[in-house]
Amino acid sequence: MFMVYFGAPEWYDTHVRGSKFWPAPETVNTRTGIDRQELTYEVERLRRERLARKTAREGIPEEKNV
């Protein structure tokens, strides 16, 4: 359960008016692969990106993580 307060116009202007609920369309990847080959390629690309972020975060050299 939660409570929302919209009593004062200043509160609304400060906390609600400038908020963006949905992300900008150019930042959202809405295109999905059409066939199996495209989907497989996209999954592998995402895995490589995730692994690169993990190795950068942990400080492991890239060649040790193969």
The per-residue pLDDT for 47 is 96
Among the listed residues 33, 53, 28, 57, the one whose alpha carbon sits nearest the alpha carbon of residue 43: 33
Per-domain residue ranges of the chain: 33-66
User: HEC string of 23-62?
Assistant: CCHHHCCCCCCCCHHHHHHHHHHHHHHHHHHHHHHHCCCH
In sign, the C-alpha dihedral spanning 31, 32, 36, 39 is: positive
- Digit-coded pLDDT (tens) for 21-58: 777 777 777 666 678 888 888 889 999 999 999 999 88
pTM score above 0.75: no
